[in-house]
Each structure stands twice: as C-alpha cells, then as structure tokens.
Structure 1
Amino acid sequence: MQIEILYEDNHLLIVEKPVNMPSQADKSQDPDVLTTLKQMIKVRDNKPGNVYLGLVHRLDRPVGGAMVFAKTSKAASRLSDSLRKRAIKRIYLAVVMGHVAPEGELKHHLYKNRQKNHVYAVDPQHPQAKPAHLSYQRLQQTKATSLVKVELHTGRSHQIRVQFQASGHPLYGDQKYGDHRIQKGTQIALWSHRLAIPHPTQDKVIEVVSYPPAKGVWRDFGY
C-alpha cells in the first residue's frame, strides 16, 4: 500500500494517514502506517539496513489526514519537545451532531481507562484526571449536523471525540462515543486537516494541509 507523502526532507516526513489504519502496530496485526512507511522508504531509497522513523504523535485508527514522523533521532527529540510546549499547531475538521455555537472553547478533565481503551470526561478531582482544552469554529451546518474546525491545545487520547460527546454533540459516525443518533457502520467524520510544525533543525515552520475525501457526510459540505 502506498501512503501519500505531503512533505519530506532529511528530518521530517509528513503523510496523509489512510482512514481505518492503525498509526503503529497493534494487537490486530493489521497493516499500520509506521511499518508501511518504513517499508516504502526502504524500497524507494534502496536501503540495506533498518529504516529509522520516529512516531511523533498518533491519530485514532478510524481518523485520516496529516500526520508527522521524524526521520532522525534528533528530529524525534525536538518534535516531541515542540509537542510538549504546544508549539505544533494541529487543526482538525469534524462533523458533529446537532448545531453548535459559531465558535467556542471546550474544557474538560479526561480519564483514560487503558484496559478498556476508553476515555471519560470526569470531575477535576478525579485522581487520574488530565485537563483537556480545545477551541472550535463552526464553518457550515445542515439540518442535523455542524462542520467545525477544531484546534487542539492539549493532546489527550480521543480528546476531540470525548469533549464534543460530553458537550452533547458527538462526532458523526463515532461508533465508540456516539449516541442514538449515530448510525451503525458509518465512518467517523474527523480529519487531521492542517499541521504547522517548527522545523527541528531550521529556522522555519513547515505547514501542510490535507482535505477529507469527497464521500460520505463530507459531501454535504462541498468536499
């Protein structure tokens, strides 16, 4: 399987992650993005040994769009530091159920049950609660849904999905966190749309944009 490359240099590799493909190998043993990219680079560049590729962040399996990898250990360290300092700008597109305000912020405390791989919005006093913060702008709406542009300010697991669900607006097609409005078998409408990344070795910002496919609910909004 070929994965589309959005940007590449000696230190960075930014690709368009396919939907329903794990970011890295998991117990499903299905083909994953990290392993597939290593194989692609090995063949393309005729590399005799192992290919180094560092996983900087993850996208949930059903989510597609822009995703960055580090091609050197120096880049991996610096990109991880940029993530911690919230210097990497991450913009998502999402279709949520119902009508939301033209713009807003969502602040919750989230707890991840690792055994169940499920995240919950909990009381701030919960011993394992971690603060989660995002802001959004409504771009369009239909009778039943809203298209929103989301900026993450923290990087919690399943954050966008859980925060909108906790606010009464679960993501369209979210089989894990949706409610009675979600039809079984529909694809989640969440897409990693834009990344702005301080380059790990140069004084510049690398920006890439990825658009959701023109199918499913995305067509309701002109994609």
Structure 2
Amino acid sequence: MAEKILSNKNNLQVLYEDNHIIIINKRVGDIVQGDKTEDKPLSDVVKEYIKDKYNKPGNVFLGTVHRLDRPTTGLVIFAKTSKALPRLNKLFVSKDISKSYWAIVKNEPPKHHDTLISWLKKNPKNNKSFAYSKEVSNSKRAVLHYKTIKKLNNYYLLEVTLETGRHHQIRTQLSSIGCPIKGDLKYGFDRSNKDAGIHLHARQIQFIHPVSKEVINITAPLPKDAIWDACLA
C-alpha cells in the first residue's frame, strides 16, 4: 500500500488566495471537515497555514463552503472572511458556480455523452447511496451530465458536470450505467488503488468573486500517477 501524502501547512497546494477566499487542491485522504475518524481535517490545516503565513494572533476564521469525498482529489473553496462565506454559500445554492470533474472509468459508457437523471437514496449505515430509475421513499432527484473526452489504453476519461449536489452523486450515477470509477470498491470497481483513493478529480471551477466581482477561473493540476499523466499526453 502506497503511503498517502496528506496535506499539512507546509505542503498545502494553494491554487488561489486573496483577502476573502482560498482555493486548495485537495489530496487523496484529506477530509474537508472533521468526522468520526478524528483525523485532522483540511479546514484545520488551512487555518494553520493562514495563521503562520500572516502571523495572525488568536483564532483564524475559515468557512467551509462545500466538500469533496475523502478518496477524491481536486478543488475545494474556503471563505477567509465572514463577509465572503454567506455570499459563496449563496453562489452554490443558486448554482452560479460552474464546476467540472474528471473521472476515469474502466468500461465504455453506453453513450459518448449523456444526461443521467435518477433518484438517489442514502443508506447512512454503510455511507452509500443507491440509484433508482423512479422516485422512492426518501430519495432525491439527481441530474448529471457526462461526456467522454479521451480513450486511454484500458480506461475512459469522462468530464462530468452536476445540476444537483447529492451524496456520492457522481460515484453512484456512473456506477449505475456500468462505469464505476477506477479504485472505487464501494461502487463496484474490482480493485482498490494503492493509495486508497479513486480516480475522481474536481478539475475546474469558475464563478464571479462575491466581493471583487472579478471572474475566477481555476483548474486544479492532476495527481501524479501514470494514468492521470496519460490523460494529458
């Protein structure tokens, strides 16, 4: 099993930072907010980074705007000020943030590009969601768009955008069409990755800065491994 290189205040991959916002490229294994594992969350790491960089006394304010699953990688936005936090939250609620993901799957999708509409139901006991073709009790409607952007030797690279933000939505819906993400044992891939991650990466984000009103467009570099490297070859 390869050792996971978790983020710390000295190796944090900061992709964008200003007075109000900081955007991080999350590593495999980082948790965005604390959970029952009691592992140090990425939010605490970012606070330590800000405290050291700016020599701030006392507690550092940091607002978590959204999350990524622990085994995934890519863009995570945090608010550095109480002014920016509710405005960023509003951007997500109103869907005024454009975000795309890259996913590597073993099987060729049924169509080159498609919109998947299903109803997802979460089972909290095993922290897993299930996709249904029609509404069932306690399910939530989920809408996802994908397109195939590259055929690799043994895999397919998909670009995914979401209309809804459901629990494990990309993982669940791609699995439902026979395309589980590489390394994702929970959703049907046949073997795990060495670092216990999955090949799902929050690749690009674009939005209007809630304070400066400038267009922010950030692309997160891919993790370093042979398969991700092949996506850019």
List aligned pairs for 1:59-138, cutoff 5 A.
59-100=68-109, 101-138=111-148
Task: Provide the residue aligned with 1:184 in structure 2.
Answer: 192
Partners of 1:99 and 1:144 within 8 A in 2:
no
Q: How far 1:174 sits from its partner (Å)? A: 0.5
Q: How far 1:69 sits from its partner (Å)? A: 0.5
Task: Provide the residue aligned with 1:56 in structure 2.
Answer: 65
- Post-superposition CA distance 1:151-174 (Å, at most 9, x none): 111111111000000111111111
Which of 171, 174, 178 is equivalent to 2:181?
A: 171
Q: How far 1:97 sits from its partner (Å)? A: 2.0
- Post-superposition CA distance 1:56-88 (Å, at most 9, x none): 000000111111011112211111111111111
Unaligned runs of 5+ in 1: none
Partners of 2:182 and 2:193 within 8 A in 1:
no
Which of 10, 29, 35 is equivalent to 2:19?
A: 10
Q: How far 1:142 sits from its partner (Å)? A: 3.2
Partners of 1:140 and 1:146 within 8 A in 2:
yes
Percent identity over paired residues: 37
Change in CA separation of 1:203 and 1:220 when aligned onto 2, cut-off 3 Å: closer
- Post-superposition CA distance 1:20-75 (Å, at most 9, x none): 11111112122221011011111111111111111100000011111101111221
In the alignment, residue 200 of structure 1 is paired with which amino acid? P
Which of 33, 46, 49 is equivalent to 1:24?
A: 33
RMSD of equivalent CA atoms: 1.6
In the alignment, residue 80 of structure 2 is paired with which amino acid? K
Whole-Å separation in 1 of the counterparts to 2:34 and 2:147 = 34
Which of 38, 44, 47 is equivalent to 1:35?
A: 44
Q: How far 1:104 sits from its partner (Å)? A: 1.3
Unaligned runs of 5+ in 2: 1-7
Task: Provide the residue aligned with 2:164 in structure 1.
Answer: 154
In the alignment, residue 191 of structure 2 is paired with which amino acid? Q
TM-score by length of 2: 0.89
- Post-superposition CA distance 1:112-165 (Å, at most 9, x none): 122321111135332211111111121111354210111111111111000000
Whole-Å separation in 2 of the counterparts to 1:125 and 1:16 = 35
In the alignment, residue 112 of structure 2 is paired with which amino acid? P
Whole-Å separation in 2 of the counterparts to 1:199 and 1:222 = 29
Q: How far 1:216 sits from its partner (Å)? A: 4.3
